[in-house]
Amino acid sequence: MFKRVIVWFRNDLRVHDNAPLSFAFQKAEEVIPVYCFDPRSFGKMELDLDKTGNHRAKFLLESVDNLRSNLRNLSGQLVILHGKPEDVLVDLAINHHADAIFFSEEVATEEKEIELQLEQNAWKHGIKTQAYWQSTLFNIQDLPFPVMQTPEVFTQFRKECEKFSKIQKTLPVPKKVTFPKEITDFGELPDLSTLGLKDPSSSSRSVLVFKGGETEGIGRLQAYFWEKDLLKVYKETRNGLLGGDYSSKFSPWLALGCLSPRYIYEEIKRYEKERKKNQSTYWLIFELIWRDYFRFICKKHGKKVFKLGGIKNNVDKWSRNEQHFWKWAKGDTGIPFVDANMRELNESGFMSNRGRQNVASFLVNDLGIDWRWGAMFFESQLIDYDVCSNWGNWMYVAGVGNDPRENRYFNILRQAQNYDRKGDYIRHWIPELAAIPGFDIHQPFELSTSQLKKYSISLGSTYPHPLVKYKVWI
């Protein structure tokens, strides 16, 4: 039994199904919950990209604020620190005589280095550390194979886990968090300007108003499953592009751990028992397993995930043409379906799964740009950025990851015709198309080749794009 334990919140910003918090409640007389704003998370990456962009940072601040509220509801408190966690957490433990630091285990390179340094610094002062695995549906201890033998093909991983592994039950919310009375300085929640960022303007065109926090995440699940009864059609609608309800939109809350994947799983099972069980209910579990897969692949391969050759060590000749990259990033390629998706990302911090596959394929397969630039841009912009899913998916599209097919390619024209046949999505995000002569914004999207050429030229792009594999659009 410990007298006093620090619980360091990372990408687990919730009080439900939270292993470090739950076990601290059981093993310690007093608990000090902490969130640390690491300045390295708000620095710059290559191409002068913000490591955490304003949409993503805003969602994070909302989530931390909500965590503080939920801990207060349990008679606890959240201490907010600023600095390198491996230093300031140990200082806090020394100053307030904490016996141990509990935290969630991460798998990616930067996060693991921080964990290691924290453990070393704490050990020097006789402070114990304990990492808990809790980010996946299947616990690492319950895998039917050693994690270093995780199959390189998703289907094999899924089938073996479904056949041989059980999903552990969610952990209960602690009844009360006993916070030390002597601590009265809880730290201030920063604003975006403190983090060197500007407040993003709210988008009237965004598919959904995303607000961070466990309360909002649970509310979204309740609305999608129980109030709107949409889970039963998830598989049929998940490739949509417009509107708030074509898919669950759980990913932002999953990424920061505001929602536990096991909590979602248990709610799916309850839905199947009380409402309906079909392919759609299974398919959401299927997507959660994909999320697991990329996390275990990251743990297996380590730094390779961030290398140009990926986990296949396949180093092709990639272009590093900044002009072409920024046209893609800003949604100014001259190709409407690509531009519409990129503009949605820039304006809202979100993009559909279908859109992500298409713009990623366009960047790496049509433009031949270094896929890591695309991964970094998504890291900066996406409110649902998850290091493992993001980099795993980009490797997949670039042909240096876990895709069993070689040269997977998305024909942008065909994709636009299949998923935006009437052009509603393109018109929604590129309203200036209405200025093209002969184009009626209220009619189905049927631009002629000459109209597409005018749109492309208006952006300063060549028509058709010289690096695009296909030559005929319409």
pLDDT of 445 reads: 46
Burial class (CB in 10 A: 0-12, 13-18, 19+), 259: buried
pLDDT of 461 reads: 59
pLDDT of 204 reads: 83
pLDDT of 423 reads: 81
d(CA 384, CA 371): 19
Neighbours of 83 (CB within 10 A): 14
Q: List, as one string, the DSSP characters of 167-181.
A: PPPPPPPPS-----T
Domains and their CATH numbers in the chain:
2-134 (3.40.50.620), 135-169+212-301 (1.25.40.80), 311-458 (1.10.579.10)
d(CA 293, CA 396): 12
Is the Cβ–Cβ distance between 322 and 336 less than 8 Å?
Answer: no
Neighbours of 414 (CB within 10 A): 10
pLDDT of 470 reads: 41
d(CA 178, CA 181): 9
HEC profile for 307-370? CCCHHHCCCCCCECCHHHHHHHHHCCCCCHHHHHHHHHHHHHCCCCHHHHHHHHHHHHHHCCEC
Task: Return the sign of the alpha-carbon dihedral for residues 360, 366, 371, 377.
Answer: negative
DSSP, collapsed to helix, strand or coil, labels residue 29 as strand
The CA dihedral of 349, 354, 356, 358, to the nearest 10 degrees, is: -140
Q: List, as one string, the DSSP characters of 223-262.
A: IIIIIS--GGGHHHHTT--SSS-SS---HHHHHTTSS-HH
pLDDT of 406 reads: 67
pLDDT of 421 reads: 82
pLDDT of 135 reads: 95
Nearest to 263 by CA among 77, 164, 134: 134
From first to last of its 474 residues, the chain has per-residue pLDDT tens of 899 999 999 999 999 999 999 999 999 999 999 999 999 999 999 999 999 999 999 999 999 999 999 999 999 999 999 999 999 999 999 999 999 999 999 999 999 999 999 999 999 999 999 999 999 999 999 999 999 999 999 999 999 999 999 999 999 999 999 999 999 999 999 999 999 999 998 778 888 889 999 999 999 999 999 999 999 999 999 999 999 999 999 999 999 999 999 999 999 999 999 999 999 999 999 999 999 999 999 999 999 999 999 999 887 789 999 999 999 999 988 888 899 999 999 999 999 999 999 999 999 998 999 999 999 999 999 999 999 999 999 999 999 998 877 667 888 878 888 898 878 898 899 887 766 665 554 554 455 566 666 666 666 655 555 545 443 333
pLDDT of 464 reads: 53
- Residues facing 30 on adjacent strands: 4
Task: Return the sign of the alpha-carbon dihedral for residues 21, 22, 27, 31.
Answer: positive
At 109, list the tokens.
């390179």
CA-CA distances (angstroms) from residue 29 to 24, 126, 176, 180? Answer: 8, 19, 11, 9
pLDDT of 440 reads: 54
Is the Cβ–Cβ distance between 120 and 147 less than 8 Å?
Answer: no
The residue to which tokens 């630091």 are assigned: 101
